[in-house]
């Protein structure tokens, strides 16, 4: 049933990725035969080119087919990724081990100190983060305020702009590439201005691949929208995105935004990093967030679950409308009007999501389900 539902977009994704796989190798050596010979060479077993064609495809070299056919065990990096992959490559049983992030690395200094004090041993056993529900709200809020201050100080240094520590701060930082739809928030700039004026500010970061024109265009559109919004809703695009900047941004904002086009996000991990710092996600239901979202408890969903009958234009329009309405009627009133409930959501992001979406749990699942 699910496989049938995934038909259209999965086929488009297959075509796109298949073409990419073939082009990388074939461009280097000229043609498919050369690409297959390159694989034969890499396999170091003098595999006949014809055998490679059996594994990797007759009319183009598909690296995913090759890997699937030469692997004893295969898994997706989230349940949704498993479902899409099984549909794209029928006949290959695919397991699922959802990604995680390294807890001690992605937890900011103020929260590390808080967890060290209240949840001794959490660095070696992040399942202990479940107990974040038992930490009092005040020290949680103090830790967050400290992480936010550190971020805003860095923003002031790099951009020369002073953001408001009391405004709801949305963060979006990841590779800039088309399917991630980083500009979805600016579909209706006047709507955003009306709902956010004086109480909302947005931080972006992320580079585009040098050959990714769409990714670069997204950055231009965000910078342009930011100019239009001016001081009403400050928007800053931070340059030179890297892991160090990522650490500051995932910890120092109030809400983590993700707006990929379904069903193209395999997992996503930055929202898991945010959860380690008590930062709830506001995200499209794709990748890991399908497993991590409990509406109003660990964060919020944007739009509906994936429906292959919905085309790109409709998805963009509906998701943007839902994003604005969630911000206006749920998230902004909660942040500015009910600090107690807000902190409870922060605690649930840690207790339900950081405790699970970490590399300790992930590696244990690889050992138990994949490696032995």
Ligand X SMILES: *Cc1c(COP(=O)(O)O)cnc(C)c1O
Q: Which residues bind ligand X (CB under 6 A)?
A: 174-175, 242-243, 246, 258, 268-270, 273
CB of 259 to ligand X, least distance (A): 10
**Separation in Å, CA 329 to CA 196, 220, 338:** 11, 29, 13
CA distance 170 to 172: 7
Contact 13, 84 (CB under 8 A): yes
Whichever of 160 and 210 has its CB closer to ligand X, that residue is 210
Q: Quote the least distance from Cβ 274 to ligand X, whole Å.
A: 9
CB closer to ligand X out of 177 and 347: 177
Q: Which residue of this chain has its Cβ atom nearest to ligand X in the complex?
A: 270
Q: Which two tokens stand for residue 156?
A: 């002031």
> Residue 62 or 270: which CB sits closer to ligand X?
270
CB of 106 to ligand X, least distance (A): 8
CA angle at 173 for the pair 168 and 176, rounded to the nearest 5°:
135
CA distances 24 to 15, 30, 32, 42, Å, are 14, 10, 11, 15
Distance CA 118, CA 112 (A): 10
Q: 335-345 as b/e, with b when 16 or more CB fall inside 10 Å?
A: beeeeeebbeb
CB of 270 to ligand X, least distance (A): 3
Closer by beta carbon to ligand X, 1 or else 243: 243
Least separation in angstroms between CB 340 and ligand X:
29
Q: Which is nearer to ligand X, 82 or 119 (CB)?
A: 82
């Amino acid at each position: 049933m699910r496989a049938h539902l995934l038909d259209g977009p999965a086929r488009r994704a297959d075509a796109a990725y298949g073409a990419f796989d073939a082009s990388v190798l074939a461009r280097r050596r000229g043609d498919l035969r050369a690409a297959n010979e390159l694989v034969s060479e890499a396999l170091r077993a003098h595999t006949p080119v014809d055998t490679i064609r059996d594994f990797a495809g007759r009319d183009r070299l598909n690296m995913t087919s090759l890997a699937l056919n030469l692997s004893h065990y295969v898994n997706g990096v989230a349940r949704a990724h498993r479902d899409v992959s099984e549909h794209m490559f029928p006949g290959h049983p695919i397991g699922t081990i959802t990604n995680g992030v390294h807890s001690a690395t992605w937890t900011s200094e103020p929260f590390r100190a808080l967890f060290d004090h209240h949840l001794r041993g959490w660095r070696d056993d992040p399942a202990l983060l479940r107990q974040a529900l038992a930490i009092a709200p005040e020290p949680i809020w103090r830790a967050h305020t400290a992480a936010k201050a550190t971020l805003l100080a860095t923003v002031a240094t790099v951009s020369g702009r002073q953001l408001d520590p009391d405004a709801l701060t949305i963060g979006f930082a990841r590779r800039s590439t088309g399917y991630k739809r980083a500009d979805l928030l600016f579909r209706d700039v006047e709507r955003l201005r009306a709902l956010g004026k004086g109480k909302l500010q947005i931080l972006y970061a992320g580079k585009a691949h040098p050959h990714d024109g769409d990714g670069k265009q997204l950055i231009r559109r965000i910078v342009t929208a930011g100019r239009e919004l001016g001081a009403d809703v400050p928007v800053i695009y931070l340059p030179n995105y890297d892991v160090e900047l990522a650490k500051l941004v995932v910890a120092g904002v109030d809400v983590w935004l993700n707006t990929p086009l379904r069903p193209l996000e395999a997992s996503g991990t930055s929202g898991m990093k945010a959860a380690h710092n008590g930062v709830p996600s506001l995200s499209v239901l794709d990748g890991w967030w399908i497993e991590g979202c409990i509406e109003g408890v660990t964060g919020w969903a944007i739009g509906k679950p994936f429906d292959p009958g919905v085309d790109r234009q409709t998805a963009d329009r509906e998701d943007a409308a839902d994003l604005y309405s969630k911000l206006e009627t749920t998230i902004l009133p909660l942040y500015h009007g009910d600090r107690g409930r807000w902190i409870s959501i922060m605690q649930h992001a840690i207790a339900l999501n950081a405790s699970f979406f970490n590399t300790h749990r992930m590696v244990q699942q690889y050992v138990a389900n994949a490696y032995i």
